[in-house]
Amino acid sequence: NAGVTQTPKFRVLKTGQSMTLLCAQDMNHEYMYWYRQDPGMGLRLIHYSVGEGTTAKGEVPDGYNVSRLKKQNFLLGLESAAPSQTSVYFCASRLETSGTYNEQFFGPGTRLTVL
Amino acid sequence: AQSVTQLDSQVPVFEEAPVELRCNYSSSVSVYLFWYVQYPNQGLQLLLKYLSGSTLVESINGFEAEFNKSQTSFHLRKPSVHISDTAEYFCAVSASGGYQKVTFGTGTKLQVIP
């Protein structure tokens, strides 16, 4: 199993450009998440999905959109990038099992710079 | 609402010395608690977790953490650190029911000095 993979690993954008970050997991997990990591701020949840075709806002959703058309993929879109969106983006997935808690598995991250 | 506080942003420690990384949480409901480790240029990996039962939990590489409900703490300890333990450590909390949103602390960078 590859686990959670993220594409691309690095990207530089100019202000106003758009892009899509792809997260893929091969563990058949129901839950998927997008976080951003900034120095001194830990991880903050952008959006999440509890299943195919469903998405919900997290803690810092403004400026981002997401889609979960297939269970294994979770896309994060930036329609008009801003310098404040310079960050490291992490995707995670989790298996949902009734009556217990399963850990989140994280991808390796995407380092995005917006000039 | 829930929150996590990691007061120490950086902790330098000599190799083979003991270390404690502090974590305090706030929540109005029962919680699950976690420690994640992030090595340079990698994603987060679960180090250990407290869900219920014994308040002392251990990892496979010698770390342990103790859930203290009265002090709302979940400090991470290791009696003797190695160079390979150099990483950033994140404490996290989740409500024990419902959607189980996970809230992460701001992280503590552990620097092991040879």
From start to end of A30-85, where are the E strands?
A: 31-38, 42-51, 54-57, 65-67, 73-78
Judging contacts by C-beta atoms under 8 Å, the chain B residues touching residue A90 are: 43-44
Show the tokens assigned to B28: 């109005």
> Is the CB of B42 less than 8 angstroms away from the CB of A109?
yes
DSSP code, position A29: -
Q: Is B106 on the interface with A (CB under 8 A)?
A: yes
Name, in order, each residue with C-beta under 8 angstroms of B42's C-beta and a sequence gap of 6 or more: A108, A109
pLDDT at B2: 85
Residue A19 lies in a domain: yes
Residue A108 lies in a domain: no
In the block, tokens 């990996």 appear at B45
Do A50 and A68 meet the contact criterion of CB atoms below 8 Å apart?
no
Q: Is A107 on the interface with B (CB under 8 A)?
A: yes
Residue A85 lies in a domain: yes
Residue A104 lies in a domain: no
Q: Which of A101, A108, A109 sits opposite B100 (nearest CB)?
A: A101
pLDDT at A88: 95
Residue-range definition of the domain harbouring residue A61: 4-94
pLDDT tens for A67-93 read: 999 999 999 999 999 999 999 999 999
Residue A16 lies in a domain: yes
Q: What CATH number is associated with residue A68?
A: 2.60.40.10
Give the distance from residue A2's alpha carbon to the nearest chain B alpha carbon, in angstroms: 14
Q: Is B52 on the interface with A (CB under 8 A)?
A: no
**How is chain B split into domains, by residue range?**
3-113
CA distance B5 to B61: 24
Residue A102 lies in a domain: no
Residue A106 lies in a domain: no
What is the number of structural domains in chain A?
1
Neighbours of B21 (CB within 10 A): 25
Do A80 and A18 meet the contact criterion of CB atoms below 8 Å apart?
yes
Residue A25 lies in a domain: yes
Judging contacts by C-beta atoms under 8 Å, the chain B residues touching residue A103 are: 34, 46, 49
pLDDT band at A96 (very low <50, low <70, confident <90, very high): confident
Mean pLDDT computed over A92-114: 87
| CA distances from residue B35 to A20, B56, B81 in whole angstroms, order as listed | 30, 13, 16
Q: Which of A40, A43, A107 sits opposite B104 (nearest CB)?
A: A43
**pLDDT in single tens digits along all 114 residues of chain B:** 789 999 899 999 999 999 999 999 998 888 889 999 999 888 899 999 998 888 899 898 899 999 999 999 999 999 999 999 999 999 999 877 655 678 899 999 999 999
pLDDT at B100: 66
pLDDT at B30: 82
CA distance B89 to B6: 10
Do B33 and B74 meet the contact criterion of CB atoms below 8 Å apart?
yes
Judging contacts by C-beta atoms under 8 Å, the chain A residues touching residue B37 are: none
Show the tokens assigned to A99: 């009556």
In the block, tokens 């003797």 appear at B80
Interface of A with B in 59-78 (CB under 8 A): none
Architecture of the domain whose range is B3-113: Sandwich (2.60)
Between B109 and A104, residue with greater pLDDT: B109
